[in-house]
Amino acid sequence: MKKTIAYISIISIAAFAGNMMNIGLSYAVHWQSLDPLAFMESFKIDFPLLLGPTTVTLVPGFIGSLWLVFLNKENKAVQRLWLISFMALLLINIQTAAYHLPMNLDFMDLKYSAMEATSKLQSWIIFHWLRVGMAIFSAIYAIKAFKNTSLS
């Protein structure tokens, strides 16, 4: 069971990192190419479409890595690696809830002027790449944990 959860977690975390990279390398580039008001109109359509893939890739890795923290109580070194992986995902969730989600909702509600929207989008993208980095970091630590686990 531990092996299966580890596989699911690693695949999920890596897929989530890939999904986050895709958002940064495609959607963000597209959004920057639009007039700020057209961007916010487009965001109303794009954001809900991004929720499904983000949830499907993040949730199994988030739950699985936490579960593996508890399943590896006997091996403190492995437990620590899974905890680091989980904490990176937790930080991503906190950043998303505290920073990105409120801004996303404001973009969708057209709450910003053109100048504000441009500035907010730039900072959104910068902080988005922080999420990408944390997702990659989480995947690395999940792989390290797996490599150091006795699964026999």
Tokens 């950043």: give the residue: 95
Cα angle: 116, vertex 121, 122; to 5 degrees: 100
The span from the CA of 58 to the CA of 10, in Å, is 11
- Tokens at 125, concatenated: 């993208």
pLDDT of residue 151: 56
Residue 98 has pLDDT above 70, yes or no: yes
- Asked whether 43 and 107 are in contact (CB, 8 A), the reply is yes
What are the tens digits of pLDDT across the range 9-52?
999 999 999 999 999 999 999 999 999 999 999 999 999 999 99
148 Cβ partners below 8 Å, 6+ apart? 75, 77, 78, 81
Q: How confident is the model at residue 149 (pLDDT cuts 50, 70, 90)?
A: confident
User: pLDDT band for position 2 (50/70/90)?
Assistant: confident
Q: What is the pTM of this model?
A: 0.92
63 confidence band (pLDDT: 50, 70, 90):
very high
CA 14 to chain centre: 10
Distance CA 31, CA 123 (A): 13
Given a cut of 90, whether residue 66 has pLDDT beyond it is yes
Taking residues 63-92, what's their average pLDDT? 96
- Alpha helices (H) along 72-113: 76-95, 101-108
Q: What pLDDT is attached to residue 152?
A: 45
Q: Mean per-residue pLDDT for 121-137?
A: 98
Contact status, residue 127 vs residue 95, Cβ threshold 8 Å = yes
pLDDT in tens, 104-114: 999 999 999 99
Query: What percentage of the chain carries pLDDT values higher than 70?
Result: 98
Enumerate helices (H) and strands (E) in the chain, giving the number of each.
Answer: 6, 0
Mean pLDDT for 49-71 is 96
The CA-to-CA distance between both ends of the chain, in Å, stands at 11
* DSSP assignment string, 39-67: HHHHHHHHHHHHHHHHHHHHHHHHHHHHH
Specify the pLDDT at position 10. Answer: 97
